[in-house]
Structure 1
Amino acid sequence: MSFRLAVCAEMVYNELPIIERVERIHDLGFEVELWDTRPRDVAALAATGARFSSMSGYYGGSLIDPDGADEVVASAEKLIPTALELGVERMVVHPAELGEAGRAVRPIHRPTGEMWLAGLRTLERLAVLGAAHGVTFALENLNTIVDHPGIPLARAKDTMALVAAVDHPNITMMLDLYHAQIGEGNLIELIIKAQQWVGEIQVADVPGRFEPGTGEIRYPAVAKVLAGIGYEGVVGLEAAAAGGSGIESSDHALAAFRTAFTI
């Protein structure tokens, strides 16, 4: 298997404290994805010995709003020490500001040219910041039908266009195939088109956002395509366990994920 597997600690083993979740994921041989690290004990997370593939890379502002871009960059800079302490490879950003339950803080349903330019310029600023500190920012695509209504420029084809326009090694895509399936479909062609820009891939099945094998996406076929193009990066499970709460359900979800991506 040419790629590495990670698991989002925010969505499984939720009956355990976050440190115990990270330890369990690590002990099972996976890398770890995190969301907002500000409420976390960073030293305790680092002491787990886990390898952290990604974390949220900002906590305010909007990438595509000139008035909010300074807040994006400033909050990203404040999070860099945490990323460096944990050895995080990618700091994740989104096209616009997310609020409660991932909803748009200021819903916008029609992108404009000004938004494109603002997004490009903000990513260019993040590229400079990332290069100065040795970190990489990853722009994640989102779906606007189920989970993130009102987020403009969120489709994978839009995020790919922005990352390609920046064309900088410290700016990549967080290609989320769950979101792409809901909003666009045609995942294999998308992977092939986006491959040179992808820093990490996230997965969950549709519908429900559960582990592979519970929905309509043929993830073993996706795994074969990734192996075929020589992808050597991270595939991260950002999904809840279909079996509900309980350690056994999460164990089953992680086992199903590993099986789907074992070539």
Structure 2
Amino acid sequence: MTTSDHSPDIGRRAALGHLATAAAAFGAAPLLASADTVSGKAVSAKPGPGRLKQSLSRWTSKAPLPELCRRLKALGFAGVDLLYVDEWSTVIDSGLAVTMGYPAKRDNFIEMGFNDPANHAQLLKELETTIPLAKKAGVKNVITMFGNRKAGIDDRKALDNCVAGLSKIAPFAAENSVTLCVELLNSKVDHHGYQGDSTRFGAEVMKGIGSPNVKLLYDIYHMQIMEGDVIRTIRDNIQWIGHFHTGGVPGRHEIDGTQELNYHAIAKAIADLNYQGYIAHEFMPAGPDPFESFAEAFKICTV
């Protein structure tokens, strides 16, 4: 897949638009059967080499999910990232971890965030529904968004709105041992208008909430585009970060020598901070064999 075929934004939107509806799975038997298998405990694969637990975002591969799990497990990956509720059991039954779950399937998932109080009721309802399912299935992380800018809501108001809304759900997340991960995205190339487009903004929201169960999803690709200085920024803000995504800059392809970041050095810096979460690869393979690209990314981030 090349940038001329699909933009990174379209790639994730395609996943949001074509994967099965999570809402229909909230009461589905396959999920409950999987939950019984794990007995409500976290599921994780046998640790791979190195100090970091690595995962792969589901939308980056066209392979059927069972095949994807089998091949990732053989490569040493610990889990699969960005999955809907009705997909969790397939991954868990394969022996891998669901490293990030979606609370809902919506075309406007990225744009509709906690920066606008008009969204709070729906977002909180989605999270209140999904968090207990995550606890039962052993899924530790659930994603949510800051949202797109709205007229009359400047950064200060947006920050306060995010703190107010997320503070309402933080105790419930803590009660269920689930971490809500709010993603930082670039507003320059892929997500024009997104308000959570700087580490400073995200860190201020995290400080305002003050909960270990609400963290930042620091997407290295997006933050390199917006602000650079990745390693120092990660070191200065690691206490607010609960999850990482990777991607080559520019183009969001492989994280090898074809792009501008030294991901091996970044991975080492993250590991040196005693980071215990996951680093999930989220890039569109440009090479002829996607799994060769996934294997190379795994090797690059093995430190």
> Shorter-chain TM-score category?
0.7 to 0.9
8 Å CA contact 2:184, 2:202 repeated in 1: yes
* 1:72 maps onto 2:123 in alignment: yes
TM-score by length of structure 1 reads: 0.86
Shift in Å at residue 196 of structure 1? 1.2
Shift in Å at residue 150 of structure 1? 1.0
Taking a change above 3 Å as real, the CA distance of residues 7 and 109 of structure 1, as seen in their structure-2 partners, is: farther
Read off the aligned partner of 2:79 and give its amino acid letter. Answer: V
Aligned to 2:96: 50
1:197-208 correspondence to structure 2 within 5 Å: 197-208=240-251
Match of 1:62 among 105, 113, 121: 113
Taking a change above 3 Å as real, the CA distance of residues 192 and 20 of structure 1, as seen in their structure-2 partners, is: same
Q: Measure, in 1, the Cα distance between the counterparts of 2:122 and 2:57.
A: 26
Read off the aligned partner of 2:125 and give its amino acid letter. Answer: A
Read off the aligned partner of 2:264 and give its amino acid letter. Answer: P
Aligned to 2:73: 26
Taking a change above 3 Å as real, the CA distance of residues 49 and 74 of structure 1, as seen in their structure-2 partners, is: same
8 Å CA contact 2:184, 2:222 repeated in 1: yes
8 Å CA contact 2:58, 2:83 repeated in 1: no
Read off the aligned partner of 2:102 and give its amino acid letter. Answer: S
Aligned to 2:46: none
SS in 2 for 1:54: coil
TM-score by length of structure 2 reads: 0.75
8 Å CA contact 2:80, 2:98 repeated in 1: yes
1:215-254 correspondence to structure 2 within 5 Å: 215-244=259-288, 249-254=289-294
Q: Measure, in 2, the Cα distance between the counterparts of 1:183 and 1:79.
A: 31
Q: Measure, in 2, the Cα distance between the counterparts of 1:157 and 1:45.
A: 34
Shift in Å at residue 156 of structure 1? 2.1
Aligned to 1:155: 198
Shift in Å at residue 222 of structure 1? 0.8
Aligned to 1:4: 53
Q: Measure, in 2, the Cα distance between the counterparts of 1:142 and 1:108.
A: 20
Q: Measure, in 2, the Cα distance between the counterparts of 1:256 and 1:206.
A: 16
RMSD (CA atoms): 2.2
Aligned to 2:32: none
Shift in Å at residue 165 of structure 1? 1.9
Shift in Å at residue 204 of structure 1? 0.8
SS in 1 for 2:287: coil
Read off the aligned partner of 1:17 and give its amino acid letter. Answer: P
SS in 2 for 1:10: helix
8 Å CA contact 1:174, 1:198 repeated in 2: yes
Aligned to 1:170: 213
SS in 2 for 1:175: strand
Read off the aligned partner of 2:78 and give its amino acid letter. Answer: E
% same residue: 25
Unaligned runs of 5+ in 1: 97-103
1:126-165 correspondence to structure 2 within 5 Å: 126-165=169-208
SS in 2 for 1:55: coil
8 Å CA contact 2:88, 2:98 repeated in 1: no
Deviation by residue 1:130-168 (Cα, 9 ceiling, x = unmatched): 012221101110000111111113322211221122111
Match of 1:193 among 232, 236, 241: 236
Shift in Å at residue 81 of structure 1? 4.0
Deviation by residue 1:12-71 (Cα, 9 ceiling, x = unmatched): 2x1x22232233223322123333515x34433432221121122455653111111111
1:57-136 correspondence to structure 2 within 5 Å: 57-59=103-105, 61-96=112-147, 104=148, 111-136=154-179
Aligned to 1:210: 253
Shift in Å at residue 112 of structure 1? 3.8
